[in-house]
């Protein structure tokens, strides 16, 4: 199971790197062409925008996994250890329900937009809007993979390695 989780995280990270690399190349080429030839790629801004959308939704799960999202822990820090665990469990359940709902909404949006095409790339908007259900599905998977240590001890996966070590959330009781 750990190998599968490691592969999942690795593929998610490499997909983000590929999207960032493609966006960098497209924007860089467009800037170079504009200054060297006076012409630019008509589709470059649109492609970069859609890559940014996909990166945002695809990377949100990794940010959640490593505790990278904003957290306000004042109330949690005032609770005893058992209260903190209950609060984190309720939070994880609420996130899971919200992410599931957003997958549903994202699928509906994508289906509604499947027959419209983007102005420059002539790509069906289905592919743009598919970032939403895909990203929230990734959030669900990442949340399920970190839920136990997060609920029990307020721990996230370590940024340095994904070998099962964890970073403790500030203010979380250890144990």
pLDDT digits (tens, 9 = 90+) for 133-142: 999 999 999 9
Contact criterion met (CB below 8 Å) for 81 and 173 = yes
**What pLDDT score does 50 carry?**
98
**What pLDDT score does 28 carry?**
97
pLDDT digits (tens, 9 = 90+) for 71-83: 888 888 899 999 9
The H or E element spanning position 167 is strand 166-168
DSSP secondary structure letters along 18-79? HHHHHHHHHHHHHHHHHHHHS---TTHHHHHHHHHHHHHHHHHHHHHHTT-S----HHHHHS
Model pTM? 0.87
Weakly modelled stretches of the chain, pLDDT under 70: 159-175
DSSP secondary structure letters along 73-122? -HHHHHS-HHHHHHHHHHHHHHHHHHHHHHHHHHHHHHHHTTT-B-TTT-
């Amino acid at each position: 199971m750990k190998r599968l989780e490691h592969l999942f995280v690795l593929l998610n990270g490499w997909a983000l790197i590929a999207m960032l690399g493609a966006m960098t190349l497209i924007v860089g080429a467009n800037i170079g062409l504009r200054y060297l030839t006076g012409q630019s790629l008509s589709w470059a801004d649109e492609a970069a925008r859609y890559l940014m959308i996909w990166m945002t939704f695809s990377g949100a799960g990794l940010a959640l996994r490593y505790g990278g999202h904003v957290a306000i822990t004042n109330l949690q820090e005032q609770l005893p250890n058992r209260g903190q665990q209950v609060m984190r469990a309720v939070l994880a359940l609420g996130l899971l329900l919200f992410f599931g709902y957003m997958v549903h909404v994202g699928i509906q949006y994508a289906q509604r937009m499947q027959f419209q095409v983007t102005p420059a790339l002539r790509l069906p908007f289905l592919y743009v809007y598919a970032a939403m259900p895909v990203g929230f599905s990734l959030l669900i998977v990442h949340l399920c993979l970190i839920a136990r240590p997060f609920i029990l001890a307020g721990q996230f996966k370590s940024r340095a390695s994904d070998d099962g070590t964890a970073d403790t959330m500030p203010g979380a009781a250890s144990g």
